[in-house]
């Protein structure tokens, strides 16, 4: 006998659990099935984001940043630290506790919103009556019937061909977040978001980190001026980033990993490391879904094919988050999840993909929303640019964190903000103002005329907006 629901959500990552909650708020009977198992064998909802992604990486970034400040930053404030020690096991335990709090928070939210949770793996079993039959295997063995289904099964790390993750020597994000002692020499393949964040964590804790990147340009998705500033800052910190390389061989051994690669000048090079993080992107996760049972189509790259509204090729089945096109970001997954739940209930929500912010939680932080300057040039769009350096911001000086700038790009005629790019302290928080402004189709003049508290980092945003019109006051 199957249990019937208006909606079954497969996956309790940020796309899935948020969709389930929103649908339950709107009055649907909702089940959410998630396979992730915690260290003690119980459910661990929250997906990649909570278990091996956003949350644990930020926990370790915070711990490692405290360590770095204590070791190198406090002295200029007149604070001496002697006998500074590091307990990596404690850091990892704290990170695991933060993860568990989030797992438990989601289970609590399911209860609060009357979402029925099943801990197991869901697969399509076929169509029946006016909906779909799903089997759940694992901790929970169930057959479910759903009028509508949202697939939110996320993504997995991409392996280098022929080099499987063993999570001891060759690490995906999972292993990179659980290293039990600081490696002396850490290799990273891929200078993308994970490579830079995890490379920063282990460099701050004392590893000698070498990052090998295939592309000749650093952080191609970011504004070029920001990428240039970031490369300079990371280099100063000691991250050894080598661009334009071709990996020829990766040989894990007893004591480490031997890498052979061709550098940008065409020279053969060898690099021996104790551990290697491979962070070369992620692939959609549709394994075990049995998509064929209902005729669900994947695109050429294995993503579930959806339209702008996250409708799949099968009426009644929707897909959101990393398993569909677009940036692999938790907040993008959440917005899609909410929008689909509302669409199922007859509402007409809209997700504006043009205002999805990006953040890289390195130091300095990097954040942006909207078009880069190089993209505007390529489009032939007439624009004005205004920048303001944190060096000229009083709060940044007081913090002792003056690297970077804010750059505002606005339409040359209408002054509408087209993009905002930030590198510097708390860029992750500052970018929210830019996203709000762009959602409201604000002009640079609007930000320039809004009263910003003094002394705050946000004044750099106002000053950059003023600079669009050549009338920055403090620079
Ligand atoms: P996921 O979070 O991957 O969740 C999918 C869930 O579905 C998983 O729990 C999985 O077990 C479950 N599942 C899969 N198949 C089945 C099945 N058949 N039955 C039942 N359950 C199933 N993004 C940000 O925005 N900010 C960050 O700071 C950030 N940091 C990151 C750091 C790292 C190291 C990594 C790897 C990623 C990071 N991301 C970050 C990306 C973010 O984690 C993803 O974009 C986000 O988790 C995608 O959400 P999702 O719901 O689509 O999928
Ligand atoms: P990524 O796409 O950010 O970066 C991968 C990098 O690896 C690219 O620069 C690419 O050119 C390079 N690369 C690919 N193949 C290579 C090869 N064979 N040799 C050398 N370099 C190679 O992917 P990453 O870092 O794995 O992260 C996956 C996704 O997770 C990100 O795209 C992002 O969506 C999400 N994420 C988001 C975070 C955030 O929002 N702060 C943090 C971490 C991950």
Note the pLDDT of residue 289: 96
Note the pLDDT of residue 394: 98
Domains 170-280 and 355-468 fall in the same CATH topology: no
Note the pLDDT of residue 15: 98
pLDDT tens, residue by residue, 382-438? 999 999 999 999 999 999 999 999 999 999 999 999 999 999 999 999 999 999 999
Atom 34 (ligand 2) nearest CA: 328
Does ligand 1 have an atom closer than 6 angstroms to the CB of 337?
A: no
Catalytic residues: 454
pLDDT tens, residue by residue, 32-68? 999 999 999 999 999 999 999 999 999 999 999 999 9
Note the pLDDT of residue 417: 98
Test site for ligand 2: of 154, 173, 194, 324, most ligand atoms within 8 A of the Cβ: 194
CA neighbor of 438 nearest in space, from 337, 361, 378, 356: 356
pLDDT of 321 strictly over 90: yes
Test site for ligand 1: of 144, 330, 365, most ligand atoms within 8 A of the Cβ: 330
**Domain 355-468: which CATH number of 1.20.120.530, 3.40.50.20, 3.30.390.30, 3.40.50.720:** 3.30.390.30
Q: What is the fold of 3-157+283-351?
A: FAD/NAD(P)-binding domain (3.50.50)
Mean pLDDT score, 285-314: 95
Q: Give 257's contacts (C-beta < 8 A, 6+ positions apart).
A: 169, 170, 187, 250, 251, 272, 273, 274, 275, 276
Does ligand 2 have an atom closer than 6 angstroms to the CB of 33?
A: no
pLDDT tens, residue by residue, 273-285? 999 999 999 999 9
CA neighbor of 36 nearest in space, from 18, 16, 21, 22: 16
CA of 199 to the centre of ligand 2 (A): 12
pLDDT of 139 strictly over 80: no
Task: Return the domain boundaries, the chain.
Answer: 3-157+283-351, 170-280, 355-468
Share of the chain above pLDDT 70, in %: 100
Does ligand 1 have an atom closer than 6 angstroms to the CB of 15?
A: yes
Mean pLDDT score, 68-89: 95
Q: Which atom, in ligand 2's list, is nearest to the CA of 173?
A: 26
**Domain 170-280: which CATH number of 3.40.50.2000, 3.50.50.60, 1.10.150.120, 3.40.640.10:** 3.50.50.60
Does ligand 2 have an atom closer than 6 angstroms to the CB of 329?
A: yes
pLDDT tens, residue by residue, 230-239? 999 999 999 9
pLDDT band of residue 229 (cuts 50, 70, 90) is very high
Query: Which of 128-142, 250-264, 269-283 is predicted least confidently?
Result: 128-142
pLDDT band of residue 129 (cuts 50, 70, 90) is confident
CA of 2 to the centre of ligand 2 (A): 41
Three-state SS sequence of the chain: CCEEEEEEEECCCHHHHHHHHHHHHCCCCEEEEECCECCCCCECCCHHHHHHCHHHHHHHHHHHHHHHHHHHHCHHHCCCCCCCCCCHHHHHHHHHHHHHHHHHHHHHHHHHCCEEEEECEEEEEEEECCEEEEEEECCCCEEEEEEEEEECCCEEECCECCECCCCCCEECHHHHCCCCCCCCEEEEECCCHHHHHHHHHHHHCCCEEEEECCCCCCCCCCCHHHHHHHHHHHHHHCCEEECCCEEEEEEECCCCEEEEEECCCCCEEEEEECEEEECCCEEECCCCCCHHHHCCCECCCCCECCCCCCECCCCCEEECHHHCCCCCCHHHHHHHHHHHHHHHCCCCCCCCHHHCCEEECCCCEEEEEECCHHHHHHHCCCEEEEEEEHHHCHHHHHHCCCCCEEEEEEECCCCEEEEEEEEECCHHHHHHHHHHHHHCCCEHHHHHHCCCCCCCCHHHHHHHHHHHCCCCCCC
Note the pLDDT of residue 425: 98
Note the pLDDT of residue 138: 86
Share of the chain above pLDDT 90, in %: 97
Does ligand 2 have an atom closer than 6 angstroms to the CB of 188?
A: no
pLDDT band of residue 269 (cuts 50, 70, 90) is very high
Atom 8 (ligand 1) nearest CA: 47
CA of 326 to the centre of ligand 2 (A): 14
Test site for ligand 1: of 20, 154, 351, most ligand atoms within 8 A of the Cβ: 154
CA of 13 to the centre of ligand 1 (A): 5
For residues 108 and 104, give the distance between their C-alpha atoms in angstroms, rounded to a whole number: 6
CA of 216 to the centre of ligand 2 (A): 15
Does ligand 1 have an atom closer than 6 angstroms to the CB of 175?
A: no
Does ligand 2 have an atom closer than 6 angstroms to the CB of 125?
A: no
- The pTM of the full predicted model, rounded to 2 decimals, is 0.98
pLDDT band of residue 266 (cuts 50, 70, 90) is very high
Does ligand 1 have an atom closer than 6 angstroms to the CB of 351?
A: no
């Amino acid at each position: 006998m199957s249990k019937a629901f208006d909606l079954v959500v497969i996956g309790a990552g940020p796309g899935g659990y948020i969709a389930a909650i929103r649908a339950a708020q709107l009055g649907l009977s909702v089940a959410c099935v998630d396979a992730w198992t915690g260290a003690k064998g119980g459910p661990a909802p929250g997906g990649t984001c909570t278990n091996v992604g956003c949350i644990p990486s930020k926990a370790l970034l915070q711990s490692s940043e405290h360590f770095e400040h204590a070791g190198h930053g406090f002295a200029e404030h007149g604070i001496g630290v002697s006998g500074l020690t590091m307990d990596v096991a404690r850091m990892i335990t704290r990170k695991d506790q933060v993860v568990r709090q989030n797992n438990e928070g989601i289970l609590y939210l399911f209860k609060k919103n009357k979402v029925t949770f099943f801990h197991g793996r869901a697969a399509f079993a076929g169509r029946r009556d006016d909906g779909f039959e799903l089997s759940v295997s694992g901790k929970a063995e169930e057959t479910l019937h759903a009028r509508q289904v949202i697939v939110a099964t996320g993504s997995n790390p991409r392996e280098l061909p022929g080099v499987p993750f063993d999570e001891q020597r060759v690490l995906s994000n999972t292993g990179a977040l659980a290293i039990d002692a600081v490696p002396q020499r850490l290799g990273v393949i891929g200078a993308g978001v994970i490579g830079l964040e995890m490379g920063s964590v282990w460099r701050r804790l004392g590893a000698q980190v070498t990052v090998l990147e295939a592309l000749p340009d650093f952080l191609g998705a970011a504004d070029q001026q920001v990428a240039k500033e970031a490369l300079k800052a990371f280099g100063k910190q000691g991250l050894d980033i080598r661009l334009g390389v071709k990996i020829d061989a990766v040989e894990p051994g007893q004591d480490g990993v031997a890498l052979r690669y061709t550098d940008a000048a065409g020279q053969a090079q060898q690099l021996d490391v104790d551990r290697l993080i491979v962070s070369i992107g992620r692939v959609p996760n549709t394994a075990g879904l049995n998509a064929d049972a209902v005729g669900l189509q994947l695109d050429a790259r294995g993503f579930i094919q959806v339209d702008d509204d996250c409708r799949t090729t099968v009426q009644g089945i929707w897909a959101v988050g990393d398993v569909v096109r677009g940036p692999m970001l938790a907040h993008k997954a959440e917005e899609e999840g909410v929008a689909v739940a509302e669409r199922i209930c007859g509402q007409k929500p809209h997700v504006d993909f043009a205002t999805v912010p990006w953040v890289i939680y390195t130091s300095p932080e990097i954040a942006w929303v909207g078009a880069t300057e190089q993209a505007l040039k390529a489009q032939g769009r007439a624009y004005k640019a205004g920048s303001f350096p944190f060096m000229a911001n009083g709060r940044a000086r007081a913090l002792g964190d003056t690297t970077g700038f804010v750059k505002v790009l606005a339409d040359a005629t209408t002054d509408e903000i087209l993009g905002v790019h930030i590198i510097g302290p708390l860029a992750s928080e500052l970018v929210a103002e830019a996203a709000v402004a762009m959602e409201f189709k604000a002009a640079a003049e609007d930000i320039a005329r809004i009263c910003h508290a003094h002394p705050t980092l946000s004044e750099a945003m106002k000053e950059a907006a003023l600079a669009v019109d050549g009338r920055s006051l403090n620079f």
